Chains A and B, each alone.
Chain A
Amino acid sequence: MEQITLSNQIVQYVFTGITVGSIYALVALGFNIIYNATEVINLAQGEFVMLGGLIMVFFITTLNLPLVVGFILTVLVVTAIGALFERLAIYPLEGASVLTLIIITIAASIFIQGLAMGIWGKDPYDLPAFSGRTPISFLGAMIQPQYLWILGITIVVVILLNLFFGRTMVGKAMAACADNPEAASLVGINVRMMVLFSFALSAAIGSIAGIVITPVSLMEFDRGPMLAIKGFAAAVLGGLGSFGGAVFAGFLLGVIESLFAGLVHSGFKDAAGLIVLLIVLFIRPSGLFGSTEVTKIKKF
């Protein structure tokens, strides 16, 4: 029987880790966008991912739309859901404490899951892979073409987000709200509107994660919370609010889990990621890329 060398195995572990990490990174980005605008940890972030996957299934499998059309429609629908969520659950509670709002996001998470269960039932759903399922051999590792899509789309999202926050007026306004909402409103930025944008944008990114991951791991109504936990760990590890940190920490977490599972013990891989998180927080309470000064003035 064909044996596999250790170096081939390690290539496989690292590549799998980066792919899984891409999803953590996308979820972590979603956390950060809302956190920056509102200081709220949106615990329904994983539900955006789940909705992305399942709504894409509806467009592609049920309506037989082309991939690109389905992709765009899905992102639009989930973005609208994100905006609606803000208008219905966050906006009416002007002046509520951050903690209250976080608890409301938990309620929203349960509500959205229940709704999804009502619509799609409890079965997992599949999507066709974007460019077939024939694995590519790379340095002795076998890689699904979909993994390259996941990685590529994550990179594109990160670049677009950078351009958005660095180059566009809305993006800069959102960044300003993140730095100091009061000063931002003094210079004429509509802070409430930016909060709405942040939920919409964060939902859009979540839905993209859901769309790209479903062909690999299927999607069902209660997948969200686990992804949210991993994404949250990545966001905290990278430093809450730091976009670069979120992406780096997402990849790091994915690779650590994967290497630990492959080389040490697959039963404790989730623990391995969380232990690294705890160690980092012990040494640097504001995360790898978070600023200690900023952390002090934030409520969370």
Chain B
Amino acid sequence: MTRKLFAMSLAALLIMAFTIPVMAAEKEPYKIGAVFSVTGRASFIGDPEKKTTEMLTDQVNAAGGINGHPLEVIIYDDKSDDTDARLLVNRLIKKDKVVAIIGPSLSGTSLAVVDLVKKYKIPLLSCAASWKIVTNPNTKKERHWVFKTTQRDSHAVGRIYDFLKSKGTKKIAILTVTTGFGASGREQLIRLAPKYGFTIVSDEKFGPKDTDMTVQLTRIRGTGAQAIVGWSIGPTQVTMVRNWRDLGMTNIPFYQSHGFGSKKNIELAAGAAEGVFCPMAAVSLARLVPDDHIQKKVTMKYNQDYEKRYGEPVSAFGGNSWDAFSLLVDALKAVGPNKKKIRDYLENRKDFIAQSGVYNFSPSDHNGLTKDSFEIVVVKGGDWAIPQ
């Protein structure tokens, strides 16, 4: 009797052991990787990118995954370090065997991995600014496996210059920080000026940890410039606006780069930022753009979801990872987890409405955005406003 019972329970156990996993198993998960600068000097970029990616992954899986396949995203932190980024991308490719990679967050970390993804033939969607990430500066050709979401510096410069031209400006002064960001902006400011018929009457620089830009501004004051374009990120972009106001130079309009687009900067400037112009992507302006704006719906949803989940406002950086993630999910939905097919699909993707703009990729453009993905805004009453 006991033996029979034992045999029966053993059989029951065996049946359970074999059937339960089969019953519970869904379709095989799609695995994608992400490398962001969550800590280190650029954590203000990587942190919202990671949060956005996690939020969107949960949303995709809650909605039943991609064609029934759950989505698994492996996120690594490169600590804003080029070497770490390389090691982690290597690990995503070889150990985790992902089908595509989002990130890295910075121009430096992205450039450090472009040859790796070429070697292992895997699509990469960088979230960083430099045009060199997608275009090989030597051959001037697009890198086969690399795409990127963020606007280029030249888009921001182009948008500012369009606006300045409409105001009848001829002579401009530029004030740039001596970091990669500032140097790249300066390059574009100088390159595009002749195309708009502008003369750069003053080309001033300052260090990223400088405490005062009064000297540079005083110099600009003596040159008869009709507008100042400042290009930096961090505390210096606040200091220069304060100095500009202190020196009584508000009769010369001040333009900032797209790096200025955070409400925090207006607060830190303690009133000094009134009247400052800057280009911004629709993602940060969701509530401000008119209802018929093509990005109104997607940006509003992202803003509301993010604020609800994290209790903080969105940033343009998070928007860039939203774009990379959503493009990749779109590709997976269309062609499944095939590296080559994903790449081919992305290269021909048109009219993809996202946070940083509307993407139109092509074999000769792996960025897919234009300068129209920026709006010019002005600081008014301590908030952003669309200039009249």
Contact = CB atoms under 8 A, between A and B. Distances in A.
Interface of A: 1-4, 6, 9, 12-13, 16-17, 19-20, 23, 122-126, 128, 133, 135, 141-142, 144, 213, 216-220, 222-223, 226-227, 258, 261-262, 266-267, 269-270
B188 interface: no
Interface string B229-267: 000001100110010001110011000000000001001
A4 B222 contact: yes
Query: Which of A19, A142, A213, A269 has the most B CB atoms < 10 Å from its CB?
Result: A142
Contact of B216 (A4, A126, A216, A266): A266
Given A23-B211, A226-B209, 11 more contacts: A4-B222, A17-B215, A19-B212, A124-B234, A124-B268, A126-B268, A142-B247, A142-B248, A217-B239, A262-B219, A267-B204
Interchain residue pairs A-B with the least CB separation, the first 7: A217-B211, A226-B209, A124-B235, A267-B205, A218-B235, A135-B246, A16-B214
A259 to B, nearest CB: 8
Contact of B270 (A133, A217, A258, A262): A133
A12 B212 CA distance: 12
B41 A222 contact: yes
Taking each of B178, B218, B252, which has the highest tally of chain A beta carbons within 10 Å of its own beta carbon? B218
Nearest to B204: A266
Most buried by B among A3, A17, A23, A267: A267
Nearest to B265: A124
Given A3-B222, A261-B216, A266-B219, A218 B270 contact: no
Nearest to B234: A124
Contacts of A141: 218
A98 B248 CA distance: 50
Nearest to A220: B235
B222 A216 contact: no
Residue of A122, A213, A261 with most chain B CB atoms under a 10 A cut-off:
A261
B370 interface: no
Contacts of B207: 226, 270
Interface string B274-307: 0000000000000000000000000000000000
Interface string B6-49: 00000000000000000000000000000000000101100000
B251 A1 contact: yes
Contacts of A226: 207, 209
B248 A216 contact: no
Given A123-B264, A270-B207, A135 B219 contact: no
A223 B209 contact: yes
A126 B226 CA distance: 30
Given A135-B248, A142-B248, A220-B235, A266 B205 contact: yes
A222 B212 CA distance: 17
Contact of B44 (A9, A122, A217): A122
